[in-house]
Amino acid sequence: DWVSAFETYQIARSEGKFITCGGALGYDALQSYMRSEQLLMAMVTDPGWVKDMILTLAHLQVKMMEMMLKKGFEFDGAFLFNDMGYRNGLLFSPETYRKTHKEADEMVYSFCHEHNMPTILHSCGRVKEIIPDLIEVGLDCLQPLEVKAGMDVRELKEKYGDKLSFMGGIDVRAMVDPDPNVIEEEIGSKFEVAKKGGGYIYHSDHSIPNNVSFEQYKRVMELAKKYGKY
């Protein structure tokens, strides 16, 4: 529905919002066509076929972005998603990522950069093993940095902060803690490191659970403003 989409876009643009072009990549896009178990098995038994499918979906993503740009949309960035991790690690090995994903990711990120769109990738779970690969293919910002999966924004900032920006990493479990000092320590200690030199965007490390009250979340935002000031 190009008409209503463009109307929504114009409203957002008039309000000065940061507008991104979204889309699924790689594993996350392909698993919607087949069960996750089958896809993970295919990555081992037929990685060439998986790579071909992922490249095909990447071409589709690029073509869709091209169509939107030709229709008059102007994007400030690209917000892409590909959940490649779980609590304890990647869903597949770094080598499998390189065999099946890397070429397609580089193509999409290159297109985005050619059209002045910095790239943000949403990838849940523990994905730190492939961060060097993500930097190599052109990723600009990684999100959401799940704390319970070992994604500590302080550690990542120290290691990769000169090459990659970060979005997220604030533990939602701290938001619901009845002790108000817990969330203040969470935000204060992480902002102190993450905001050095720029390259950090506040965000929770995952969806805000229902047991976080409105008052608790108001405090989160107040603390983000307090500690986020330069």
Distance CA(145)–CA(69), nearest Å, equals 30
The domain ranges of the chain are 2-143
Is the pLDDT at 60 greater than 90? The verdict is yes
Under 8 Å between Cβ of 187 and 223: yes
Q: Is the pTM of this model over 0.85?
A: yes
* CA proximity to 54, closest of 75, 32, 69, 37: 32
Q: pLDDT per residue over 20-44, tens digit each?
A: 999 999 999 999 999 999 999 999 9
Q: pLDDT per residue over 128-176, tens digit each?
A: 999 999 999 999 999 999 999 999 999 999 999 999 999 999 999 999 9
Directed axis angle between helix 214-228 and helix 180-194, to 10°? 30
Q: Binning pLDDT at 50, 70 and 90, where does residue 2 land?
A: confident
Q: Which amino acid is at 182?
A: V
Question: Looking at the domain covering 2-143, what would its CATH class be?
Answer: alpha beta
Directed axis angle between helix 36-45 and helix 47-70, to 10°? 120
Prior bond to 144 cis, omega within 30? yes
Expressed in angstroms, the distance from the first to the final Cα of the chain is: 42
Collapsing DSSP to helix, strand or coil, 8 comes out as helix
